[in-house]
Structure 1
Amino acid sequence: MTSHSQSTPSQPAYRGQKLRAFAFALLAKREYSKTELYQKLMLYAADADEVKLLLEELSQANYQSDTRMAGMLVRQEIRQGRGPRRIQQRLQKHQIDHDLAQPDLAEIDWFEQALQLKIKKFGENIAQDQKQLAKQIRFLQYRGYAIDIIMKVVKYKEND
């Protein structure tokens, strides 16, 4: 009597066209960094060298682009009110070189982003007591803004 778990493989081993079709299916759903796509494909691939060649081909044909992925992440994080430090963490999580996001990051007025976030959450008035001020500072720090920008934002008056 043989065990059923020994006779069937735990996962399929893709090669050739099947691996290529799987890669295209993944990329059709969302952007992946090269490292993420490699890790995902290796879960199903039979050969690591074949995956590396496929990734190079996809990258050369611009189906996969770390630069495009970096830009998408930056825009997504900004829409969610996150600052440069949180964006940097997200880039590291996806194993994308920070330099690829530099052009997108350089265009952003971080003071204006932080100010709009502060106004949306706490209103336009300057905090009068230390407890409220500390709460605003913690909120903006958690969102990834630098302390010099935070201090300007929490003390900002419209007519300054």
Structure 2
Amino acid sequence: MNDLELYQYALFLLSRRDYGRAELFARMKRRMYEKNDRIIDELLIERVLAKLDEQHFLDDDRVVSLLMQSYVRKGYGPLRIKQELRQKGFIEALIETHLENVEVDWFEKAIEVRTKKFGDDLPSDFKEKSKQVRYLQSRGFFGDMIYEQFKN
């Protein structure tokens, strides 16, 4: 694969959705492996990424912001959001900055997520309470956000 082919492939990917730099690097690396007789030229990929950066097609800050909004709408808590963004290859400092600046009351969000799934009534037995706690933990809420709801 040459510069132009790889650049066009990257533009094709970016035309469909936003990618972070690390995620796009991985996709381009996989494409090069498939199309280039299993030979990967990481310098070529870096050159193409630099060109995309110069043209403002890559912006990790914007992508993290958009993903953060999406994950909040889906009802994810801060722990889950952090995990999802780390898996996409974003740096910890960028993730932390966006989590600090997001305008969400996480306690209210946890209540909203629990209510949407289980209704307004608080559980009366231990088994049901445990089920709801596990659900909220899997959604990425901290323990204090979860247990605050069940205080009575």
* TM-score bucket of the superposed structures, by smaller chain: 0.7 to 0.9
SS at match of 2:89: coil
Give the share of equivalent positions with the same residue, in percent.
32
CA contact (8 A) 2:3 2:48 kept: no
Judged with a 3 Å threshold, the aligned counterparts in structure 2 of structure 1 residues 124 and 155 are, in CA distance, closer, same or farther, namely: farther
Judged with a 3 Å threshold, the aligned counterparts in structure 2 of structure 1 residues 132 and 154 are, in CA distance, closer, same or farther, namely: same
Q: Which has the bigger relative contact order, CA under 8 A and spacing at least 6?
A: 2
SS at match of 2:18: coil
CA distance in 1, matches of 2:93, 2:104: 15
Q: Which one is further off, 124-133 or 19-28?
A: 124-133
RMSD: 1.8
1:39-63 CA-to-partner distances (Å, cap 9, x unmatched) read 2212344632121011122123220
Match of 2:18 among 9, 26, 31: 31
Give me the TM-score of the superposition, normalised by structure 1.
0.80
Letter in structure 2 aligned against 1:80:
K
Q: Which one is further off, 122-131 or 24-33?
A: 122-131
CA contact (8 A) 2:82 2:95 kept: no
Aligned to 1:116: 112
CA distance in 2, matches of 1:43, 1:104: 29
1:94-150 CA-to-partner distances (Å, cap 9, x unmatched) read 110132233442322111110101111122222222112111111101111000110
CA distance in 1, matches of 2:120, 2:54: 49
Query: Which aligned pairs between 1:79-90 and structure 2 lie closer than 5 A?
Result: 79-90=73-84
Aligned to 1:141: 137
Aligned to 1:20: 7
CA distance in 1, matches of 2:55, 2:149: 44
Query: Which aligned pairs between 1:120-135 and structure 2 lie closer than 5 A?
Result: 120-135=116-131
CA distance in 2, matches of 1:105, 1:48: 32
Shift of 1:24: 0.6
Letter in structure 2 aligned against 1:66:
D
Give me the TM-score of the superposition, normalised by structure 2.
0.84
Aligned to 1:6: none
Structure 2 unpaired stretches of 5+: none
CA distance in 2, matches of 1:39, 1:134: 39
Q: Which one is further off, 113-122 or 95-104?
A: 95-104
Q: Which has the larger radius of gyration?
A: 1
